[in-house]
Amino acid sequence: MNLDHVFVCGHPALDFAATLRARRSTRFEMFVTPERLNAWYLDCGLVDTITPGDEQDVREAQTVREAVYRLVTSRLAEEDFDREALAVLNAAARRTPVTPQLTMAGRHNEATPGQALATVARHAVELLSGPDVPLLKECGNPECTRVYIDRSRGMRRQWCGMESCGNKIKAAAYRARKKTSPAVGAH
């Protein structure tokens, strides 16, 4: 599977939760090393530079990610939040976040992996307590478990992203139709 980070969910906390892909089937972990975790923080634009991390940073990020995912799916199902997941998220959100600095070149966000994780946790708190909760949707691809914010007109969006899931589903549906429809012009 592709190790490129994908940002299609419309919110950093949702993209973070989506770093364990295909949860219902093959389960593909994006945070396999401290370097891959730090690459995510950089690629999502949360930080400009980040200090090297270690395995403990990866374990903490995975724990917070799973708490975020549980809380998001509880919101989708209109169920009460899982108390353990709440405790994990809130503990992470209480830590020191990324602090922007002003430099001669402009704003610069330098952080440790722990500060980056605290910032993601704060984003999750804002999302799950904010006005976008009714816009949360799970991708229509049964293999995908990404949750995204649907800002489309009429909330008609079905996929986390066309490139990641929409095209695959549409192509599969097209192939299925071609197989079952009678051949045109056949005698």
* Structural domain boundaries, residue 135: 12-180
Does 24 reside within a domain? yes
Does 151 reside within a domain? yes
Does 62 reside within a domain? yes
Q: What is the CATH number of the domain that holds 107?
A: 1.10.3300.10
The reported pTM is 0.86
Mean pLDDT of 1-19: 86
Whether residue 12 has pLDDT greater than 80: yes
Does 131 reside within a domain? yes
For the chain, how many structural domains are there in total?
1
Secondary structure E strands in 15-127: 20-21, 28-29, 49-50, 99-103, 106-111
Does 155 reside within a domain? yes
* Phi and psi at residue 170, to the nearest 5°: -65, -40
Does 185 reside within a domain? no
Whether residue 4 has pLDDT greater than 80: no
Does 186 reside within a domain? no
pLDDT confidence of residue 46: 95
Across the chain, mean pLDDT equals: 89
Does 25 reside within a domain? yes
Whether residue 148 has pLDDT greater than 70: yes
pLDDT confidence of residue 176: 59
Mean pLDDT of 65-88: 97
